[in-house]
Structure 1
Amino acid sequence: MPEIEMPKSHGTARRSRLAAASASLIAAVALTTVPAASAHADSFSLNCAPHTVSVRITDPGPADQTLWGELCYRGSTEPSTVQILVHGAAYNHAYWDFPVGNGYYSYVQAATAVGYATFDVDRIGIGNSSHPASSSVGVTAAAVSLHDGITALRAGSVDGHAFSHVIIVGHSLGSYETWVEVATYQDVDAVIVTGALHGVNPAAPPTFFHTDAYPAVMDPKFANSGLDTGYLTTKPGTRESMMYSTATVDPAVVTADEANKDTTTIAEAQSAAPIFSLPPTQAYSYKITVPTLSISGTDDFFHCPGVTLYDCNNTASVEAFESQYYQPAAHVQIVMMPYTGHALALSTTAPATDAVMLTFALSHVAP
């Protein structure tokens, strides 16, 4: 995939041009994959409904937890392919369908427009899903619960429709948990990971977990939540510097991001850290055998500054490093979004990111 070039200047005009170009691509693909849309506009309306799936967090173990997700698709008939969307730390399902910009920051809207169903989940311990003791909510627990969610989608236990194909889409910590899930269960047809490279800014983990995060119950939003002190959230005013690039940040998004913030756990941090110390051929990602896209921003605070293993502004450099962590069967594609921070779906480049993700998805697993 060719490297994406964008001007360094930014503002309303550039955002409008980017949105128009990306929307045109998505719309063109939609017309080829959902031919009835133009003839029956009302049948192309977006249908969304919440569902709760009983899941485990240990394998073997009891299905005594609940995974919440919102299933969306266009028209009256569900497609054969669903994308399960997995958000990152201190986010929830709103990351993929953000309540700002009338769909500008909604991967759910973009993916359903080209014919896919989406199952946009709150990871275990987050939002509308169950909240077990924080010490039990690590990356393996999340992977087990996601596997049970995927199994339910394939079995028809969600909305009474059995999906033939599943694409898993992760972001940040959700991408790390995606690596673990797919490596363990081999139950999806394609993988998209965002904000997830194998090099880590040495300043990022201590900044997030020690400087910018605190027990969630100390935050006004979660003061009466009953969460134990192993659940963390971000301190007020810290998200912009961690999650965005100054070149592609929308102030309205930052305000809503703070209002919609959610939690993570100490156990997730502790269990995620060893993932990045594994040699390439022992990494979880190396066990993936289906088509894989890895897309990140060139200004990603967690995976670019302070990293000498590759140069985020040079796609070939990132590709040379990251390809070690995937075996040939994954046919991994690496894309770096210019002037974009860690929260790709919430940056002004979001429509372009969506277009890259959907071009990949459509080339491997049809809706």
Structure 2
Amino acid sequence: MHRLLIMLPVLVSAAIVLTPDPAQAHEPTCQRRDTTVTLTPDSAVRYRIAGWMCRPARPTNTVQVLMSGFTYDHKYWSLTGSGRSYVSAALQAGTAIYTVDRVGVGVSDRPPADEVTVLAEAFVAHQLVQQLRRGPSGFQHVIGVGHSYGSAIWMIEAANHHDVDALILTGYLHQANPVQQAAVAAGLHQASEDPLFANSPPPGYVTTKPGARGRSFYYLPGADKAALALDEQTKATGTSGQRATMNLARDPSYSRNITVPVLLVVGDHDALSCDIAAGLLCSTAKQVCARERDYYPTNTPVYAAVVPKAGHSINGHRTAAAMQSSLVGAWARTAFSHHAVAWSRCQA
């Protein structure tokens, strides 16, 4: 059994605050580490990004940077649907983790909603990667890890900047199920109307309606009830800019410019990615490969894995350990050597 991890060295060229964080008290090796970023290369306006740096027991030169999905913050990676969190599994596997509240969510700054787009967040991710690599304690290898919209961020970042060493993309394939996309959209409302957001987020910020997350993001027979309840209690916001641009990464011009190893992970009951009636098959890794291989260059290693009895938000399902252990942790350690292991490599 293998597990997944991520960590961050000192972020240079940015303001950093390093403090123990009560919200991550169950992850005892994590410390709060913030930085500042801009949304575009020519902007002078800097926004604070809240981050958590997690170190494994032994030294490592590889860091995984975690990006959450739409209406999720860093707490997604601490859901314990399988009995332990993604972060805990990663630390046990021996790599480092840097998990963030993306700009506009959690305790990070909230820019105007129309400015928080997938293109802006891809540039933010690029700044984080560069900060992680700098200095005497910089990491040699940086892996971009995303969930859903977070995967879209990493696809664009990798295509535009070519500065990550590998990608782990969960819950995001090139073809989506439009029926479920419409259902998710119908389950949104203005964050200012939600009792969980009494601090009145700016106009254009949305969140899921109370009780909507189960039907939007979960395969309920496989969901962990406690994880789903926590998901509802800790939900985050999304923006009008994200909604308008989140499908941009499905443009093949991005994936065809990705040159590093890619691991695609999807739940076999992910209603946003899978629909038998529409021909969107994802019950097996072979089916995922058939859908995705041609979107990437022939010399880009592409792998696929399917988590059984899991919906879109994999970490809240009881089978999440299939991703955390036997898949992602081992793959992260062999991504640079291309050794054959338990997942399926998609043949060009």
Which TM bucket (shorter chain)? 0.7 to 0.9
Question: In the alignment, is the contact (CA less than 8 A) between 1:71 and 1:119 conserved in 2?
Answer: yes
Q: Equivalent residue for 2:77? A: 96
**CA, structure 1 residues 68+180, in 2 after alignment: closer, same or farther (shift >3 Å)?**
same
Question: In the alignment, is the contact (CA less than 8 A) between 1:96 and 1:105 conserved in 2?
Answer: no
* SS of 2:2 mapped into structure 1: helix
User: What is the Cα deviation at residue 310 of structure 1?
Assistant: 3.6
Q: Equivalent residue for 1:143? A: 122
Question: In the alignment, is the contact (CA less than 8 A) between 2:169 and 2:264 conserved in 1?
Answer: yes
- Amino acid corresponding to residue 308 of structure 1 in structure 2: A
From 54, 68, 78, the equivalent of 2:50 is: 68
**CA, structure 1 residues 310+212, in 2 after alignment: closer, same or farther (shift >3 Å)?**
closer
Q: Equivalent residue for 1:232? A: 206
**CA, structure 1 residues 220+148, in 2 after alignment: closer, same or farther (shift >3 Å)?**
same
Question: In the alignment, is the contact (CA less than 8 A) between 2:155 and 2:249 conserved in 1?
Answer: no
Q: Equivalent residue for 2:17? A: none
- Amino acid corresponding to residue 121 of structure 2 in structure 1: A
User: What is the Cα deviation at residue 307 of structure 1?
Assistant: 6.3
* Pairing 1:180-259 to 2, within 5 Å after superposition: 180-209=156-185, 211-223=186-198, 225-259=199-233
User: What is the Cα deviation at residue 316 of structure 1?
Assistant: 2.1
Question: In the alignment, is the contact (CA less than 8 A) between 1:83 and 1:119 conserved in 2?
Answer: yes
Deviation digits for residues 223-260 of structure 1, max 9, x if unmatched?
Answer: 3x231231110001111112111331111111111001
Q: 1: CA distance between counterparts of 2:102 and 2:180?
A: 22
Q: Equivalent residue for 2:321? A: 351
Deviation digits for residues 47-74 of structure 1, max 9, x if unmatched?
Answer: 2111111111112323611221100012
**CA, structure 1 residues 63+83, in 2 after alignment: closer, same or farther (shift >3 Å)?**
farther
**CA, structure 1 residues 309+323, in 2 after alignment: closer, same or farther (shift >3 Å)?**
farther
Q: 2: CA distance between counterparts of 1:163 and 1:275?
A: 27
Question: In the alignment, is the contact (CA less than 8 A) between 1:91 and 1:261 conserved in 2?
Answer: yes
Q: Equivalent residue for 2:18? A: none
Q: Equivalent residue for 1:40? A: none
Mean CA deviation greater in 56-65 or 112-121: 56-65
Q: Equivalent residue for 1:361? A: 332
Q: Percent identity?
A: 34
User: What is the Cα deviation at residue 161 of structure 1?
Assistant: 2.8
Tell me the number of residue pairs that the alignment of Structure 1 and Structure 2 aligns.
315
* SS of 1:124 mapped into structure 2: coil
Would you say 1:176 and 2:155 are equivalent positions?
Answer: no
Q: Equivalent residue for 2:238? A: 264
Q: Equivalent residue for 2:13? A: none
- Amino acid corresponding to residue 113 of structure 1 in structure 2: Q
Deviation digits for residues 124-160 of structure 1, max 9, x if unmatched?
Answer: 111121110011000011111111111111114xxx8
Question: In the alignment, is the contact (CA less than 8 A) between 1:298 and 1:312 conserved in 2?
Answer: yes
Question: In the alignment, is the contact (CA less than 8 A) between 1:299 and 1:339 conserved in 2?
Answer: yes
Question: In the alignment, is the contact (CA less than 8 A) between 2:177 and 2:273 conserved in 1?
Answer: yes
Q: 1: CA distance between counterparts of 2:83 and 2:302?
A: 27
User: What is the Cα deviation at residue 104 of structure 1?
Assistant: 2.4
Which stretches in structure 1 are left out of the alignment for 5+ residues? Answer: 1-24, 31-44
Question: In the alignment, is the contact (CA less than 8 A) between 2:50 and 2:101 conserved in 1?
Answer: yes
Deviation digits for residues 53-106 of structure 1, max 9, x if unmatched?
Answer: 11111123236112211000123x6421110001101111011122x57x8241
Which stretches in structure 2 are left out of the alignment for 5+ residues? Answer: 6-26, 338-348
Deviation digits for residues 170-208 of structure 1, max 9, x if unmatched?
Answer: 000000111111111111111000001111111122222
Name the larger-Rg structure.
1
From the two aligned structures, give the one with the greater helix fraction. Answer: 1
Question: In the alignment, is the contact (CA less than 8 A) between 1:55 and 1:67 conserved in 2?
Answer: yes
Q: Equivalent residue for 1:8? A: none
Question: In the alignment, is the contact (CA less than 8 A) between 1:67 and 1:145 conserved in 2?
Answer: no
User: What is the Cα deviation at residue 330 of structure 1?
Assistant: 2.2
Question: In the alignment, is the contact (CA less than 8 A) between 2:310 and 2:320 conserved in 1?
Answer: no
Cα RMSD of the aligned pairs, angstroms, is 2.1
Mean CA deviation greater in 239-248 or 112-121: 239-248
Q: 1: CA distance between counterparts of 2:62 and 2:157?
A: 19
Q: Equivalent residue for 1:304? A: 274
